[in-house]
Amino acid sequence: MSQGKIPYGRQTIDEDDIQAVVEVLRGDWLTTGPKVKQFEEDFSRFVEAPHAVAVSNGTAALHAAMHVLEIGQDDEVIVPAITFAATANAVVYCGASPVFADVCPQTLLVDPESVAKRITARTKAIIAVDYAGQPCDYAALRKLADEHGLRLVADACHALGATCHGKRVGSIADVSTFSFHPVKHIATGEGGMVTTADADLDRRLRIFRNHGITTDHSQREAAGAWHYEMVDLGFNYRLSDIQCALGVSQLRKLPAWLQRRREIASRYAQAFGESGDVRPLGIRPEVEHAWHLYVVRTLGPRDQIFADLRGAGLGVNVHYVPVHLHPYYRRTFGTGPGLCPVAEAAYQQILSLPMYPALTDADVDRVVTTVRSCASRSRAA
């Protein structure tokens, strides 16, 4: 796609993915069938977490995590300022207040020192976001959580396949959440997963995704029983067998895709290195990065560079508007500029470059050349 447009991210769908979906369509179970169980088992094995619960999207995964940790009215949950709005929204769904922590200037990962300053008697949990695919400082966050009796949640929607001190993301926090939106590491159209080592949380997650009902349709069919009980207020957050079949097929290819993302990242790192007009973010020594995004900081005017790159057919993006600056949060929680100065300053400079496994070396070279020329031109201007 050398002269066409290059998006910042996109799914890879092969013939075997299509076949996997078609097989489900020809079978008996479109939802609550065997593919859901298979996807959960394969996923749980991959992230080395004892339990995995498939849900309808990554936001539902966060909502389910907040619910089973009993986050409610008057509670506070600390979230980083640099994340997708859904991280904070899930806290609000449960009637609680998100409290925004600032990020580290080098990595834009949540800063444990800022988290420590935000802890109050009302704080119940910390949601760590593995921004761009890099695991947070889980050792520091775990220490804070343990000292203050807080639950630690990982919004790992960027970090499927990443590790921290050799442990897979998904097996580090009390509860971890993933998304299978097409720009993420594997795609099911819409989809999500919650992982945990806690059998009781696993049981309650399954009830929550199924209206708060203790058995699902296939379990009742197996038991030949009509009776069911709704024990909690839940949602319909199930993922269909059609989507799970795609997930199973995609997950098989994830190791190769992670490898390709890492190759692309090292090409970018070589090209932009230390001294260019754009600078890659820092990488913590103890992590294996999953490279959902390749984020650089611009030294020249970001908006100009952004516009020039879009004009040249590169689908660059900005991740993210700091959540506390969104009108909803300003209006509802009284947040605004000055609350998280590191995040606010970084937001003026960041740019996400194209990053997905199907990018060819020629595509990467074109990105490098175009970014170099747009960035140096803007600096000269």
Ligand X SMILES: *Cc1c(COP(=O)(O)O)cnc(C)c1O
Which residues are annotated as catalytic? Answer: 184
CB of 187 to ligand X, least distance (A): 10
Largest CA distance in the chain: 75
By CB under 6 A, residue 195 contacts ligand X: no
Residue with tokens 């650089």: 296
Helix then strand count (H, E) for the chain reads 13, 13
- Pick out residues in 242-281 that bind ligand X (CB under 6 A): none
Residue nearer to ligand X on the CB measure, 257 or 272:
257
Give me the least distance between CB of 184 and ligand X, in Å please.
Answer: 6
CB of 173 to ligand X, least distance (A): 14
- The residue among 205, 154, 163, 157 whose CA lies nearest residue 181 is 157
Q: Which of 44, 59, 176, 196 binds ligand X (CB under 6 A)?
A: 59
State in angstroms the smallest separation of the CB of 94 from ligand X. Answer: 15
Q: Closest CB to ligand X among 137 and 155?
A: 155
DSSP strand pairing (167-168 vs 76-80): unpaired
Q: How far is CA 79 from the centre of its chain?
A: 13
- Which of 192, 247, 354, 357: binder of ligand X (CB under 6 A)? 192
Is the torsion defined by CA of 348, 164, 315, 87 positive or negative?
A: negative
State how far the Cα of 265 lies from the Cα of 280, in Å rounded to an integer: 10
> What is the enclosing helix (H) or strand (E) of 18?
helix 15-26
Beta carbons of 109 and 103 less than 8 angstroms apart: yes
The correct pick among 129, 175, 242, 343 for binding ligand X (CB under 6 A) is 129
Task: Select 247 or 277, whichever has its Cβ closest to ligand X.
Answer: 247
- The site map against ligand X for 143-182 (x = CB under 6 A) is ------------x-xx--------------------x-x-
Separation of alpha carbons 368 and 121, rounded Å:
49
If one asks whether residue 378 binds ligand X (CB under 6 A), the answer comes out as no
Instruction: Specify the 3-state DSSP secondary structure of 51.
Output: strand
- For the bound state, the minimum distance from the C-beta of residue 181 to ligand X, rounded and expressed in Å, comes to 4
In the numeric block, which tokens belong to residue 293?
Answer: 């995004």
11, 44, 87, 114: residue in contact with ligand X (rule CB under 6 A): 87
Binding-residue total with ligand X (CB under 6 A): 14
Q: Torsion over CA of 154, 155, 158 and 162, rounded to 10 degrees?
A: 10
Q: Which stretch binds ligand X (CB under 6 A): 51-59, 67-75, 337-345, 348-356?
A: 51-59
Residues that bind ligand X (CB under 6 A): 57-59, 83-84, 86-87, 129, 155, 157-158, 179, 181, 192
